[in-house]
Amino acid sequence: MVEVIYTGEFGARRRMAKRWAGLKAKMSPERRARMQKRTDGLLLEMDLRELRKLVGVTQTQLAERLKTSQGEVSQAERREDYRLSTLRRYVEALGGKIEVIANFGDKRIRLVA
């Protein structure tokens, strides 16, 4: 659900919940492509801490899933460089999946391991 705030008659502000699928269906293909590109850019800038919070998992809960300590999770979230295997374990413990894309400007190639 997406919350839409708009000014109605008489200048009153109203909040309405709209289904994303409905809003998306009304968009032109060009607008959807622009939004997807912008969203992809935002997602690329998300660090592990933000990702964990987005999913709604605490460091303690994640540590239990990874069979490690909360301190280890905290350290991992502060690192600047990660091994792919570490990222895979972390993301899978959050219920996700890692995909590696090689971007050559005009070509995007999904790498399989």
For residues 73 and 33, state if they share a domain.
no
| Distance in angstroms (rounded) separating the CA atoms of residues 106 and 103 | 8
For residues 85 and 56, state if they share a domain.
yes
- Here the contacts of 99-103 (C-beta below 8 Å, separation 24 or greater) are none
User: For 2-45, how does the pLDDT look when each residue is reduced to its tens digit (9 = 90+)?
Assistant: 444 444 454 444 455 567 777 778 889 998 888 888 777 665 56
- For the chain, the farthest-separated pair of C-alpha atoms sits apart, in whole angstroms, at 59
pLDDT value, residue 1:
46
Range of the domain at 96: 46-113
For residues 76 and 111, state if they share a domain.
yes
For residues 40 and 52, state if they share a domain.
no
What percent of the chain stands above pLDDT 90?
37
From residue 20, how far is each of 7, 40, 68, 89 by CA, in Å?
A: 20, 17, 37, 30
Q: What is the CATH number of the domain that holds 93?
A: 1.10.260.40
> Which range, 4-8, 19-23, 65-69, 85-89, has the best average confidence (pLDDT)?
65-69
- pTM metric for this prediction: 0.58
For residues 9 and 63, state if they share a domain.
no
For residues 20 and 51, state if they share a domain.
no
Residue 75 clears pLDDT 60, i.e. is over it: yes
For residues 27 and 69, state if they share a domain.
no
